[in-house]
Structure 1
Amino acid sequence: MLTIGDRFPNYKLKATVGTDLENGFADLENASFEGKWQLVFFYPKDFTFVCPTEIKAYSDLADEFADRDCVVLAASTDTEFVHLAWRNSHDDLRDLKIPMLADVKRELSGALGILHPEEGVAMRATYLVDPQGIIRHVSVTDMNVGRNAKETLRILDALQSDELCPCNWQPGDDHLKAA
């Protein structure tokens, strides 16, 4: 599995960006977000139970991430058409502010090393990637355990502070001073 300090793999994927068949898709790639931080979070499957709670939580914070020059991208191994059908059938997903990447050929999830060995789907992995394409944070949780979108935002704030941040540091708290 790729980790801190590794270069995030190049990708070019279809993404679901809306709810209509005619204008609901886009091609997205690393170059689409040049000079920006990227939060790329993978979830196992569409039409499941934990995943929509996470997708909605990250979408709800999309403006706060954008204030920090960070784009938020959800990703799974489902197709863009399955993403579209799920968005149109799930009340919490209709008005998403974030794209849903379709890693159908499992190229990105495979390059990251996050394919579940038995299920063949992406594990619940979260990556914060700096503007130079370097992974600065990664976490992976059990398939049944959702993550905390506000904690990811806090970690981004800590990374962008470029300072020593103690345990439980919050924006506005003092940073540690090296002796």
Structure 2
Amino acid sequence: MALINTKIRPFRAQAFKQGKFIEVTEADALGKWSVFFFYPADFTFVCPTELGDVADNYAELQKMGVEVFSVSTDTHFTHKAWHDSSDTIGKIEYAMIGDPVGIITRNFDAMREEEGLADRATFIVDPDGVIQAMEITAEGIGRDASNLVRKIKAAQYVRAHPGEVCPAKWQEGAETLAPSLDLVGKI
């Protein structure tokens, strides 16, 4: 799981997005901030609550220059069927990538090999295709999109302000830190 500060690996996959099937590759994540949002399976319990939460925050993420790619080991056909049959999933406008052979899921080291399902995992990728943050939770623990937004804002701030770092619970506009020898032992 030593993926922080590594570049995402090549992939090519089919996705369902805004009523169409599209092809997605790693190149689609370059030049902008991206989130790869892995989840175990369509037509389940916690997954739709998380995907719906991301959908509710998608407009804000887009304003921040962030693209979202949800990924499961279901097919893009299954994603369309779920999108068409669920009000929660029906509001999703971001790409829902099908990864039935698990290439992308394995590239991000998020595959449960014994089950053939993705972990509940989130990766924040910078415009250079480098993973800046990741979160993996157990099956029954849902993620919070507002915390994802906060983490992306912190990552974007740090990238734009070399020499500064964001402390715990940092919110946009709050004070940051400039690491130095003078700060050691004083926080």
| Counterpart AA for 1:144 | G
Tell me the residue number matched to 1:173.
174
User: Which runs of 5 or more residues in structure 1 are unaligned?
Assistant: none
Tell me the residue number matched to 1:35.
31
- After TM superposition, list the pairs within 5 Å mapping 1:58-77 onto structure 2: 58-77=54-73
Query: Retained in 2: the 8 A contact 1:60–1:97?
Result: no
Query: Retained in 2: the 8 A contact 1:2–1:113?
Result: no
- After TM superposition, list the pairs within 5 Å mapping 1:1-179 onto structure 2: 1-19=1-19, 24-162=20-158, 163-178=164-179, 179=182
| Counterpart AA for 1:16 | F
How many residue pairs end up in the alignment? 175
CA RMSD of aligned residues (A): 1.3
Q: Quick check: 134-143 or 106-115, which moved more?
A: 106-115
Note the alpha carbon deviations across 1:107-155, whole angstroms, 9 max, x for none: 1111222111331201001000001111000110001111111101100
| TM-score under structure 1 length normalisation | 0.93
Note the alpha carbon deviations across 1:65-93, whole angstroms, 9 max, x for none: 11121101111000011111111111111
Larger radius of gyration: 2
| Counterpart AA for 1:87 | H
Q: Quick check: 148-157 or 29-38, which moved more?
A: 29-38
Tell me the residue number matched to 2:161.
none
| Counterpart AA for 2:165 | L
For residues 44 and 133 of structure 2, what CA distance do their matches in structure 1 show? 26
| TM-score under structure 2 length normalisation | 0.89
State, as a whole percentage, how many aligned pairs show the same letter: 35
Query: Retained in 1: the 8 A contact 2:32–2:65?
Result: yes
For residues 26 and 48 of structure 2, what CA distance do their matches in structure 1 show? 24
Change (3 A) 1:17 1:157: same
Deviation at 1:2, TM superposition (A): 4.7
Query: Retained in 2: the 8 A contact 1:8–1:135?
Result: yes
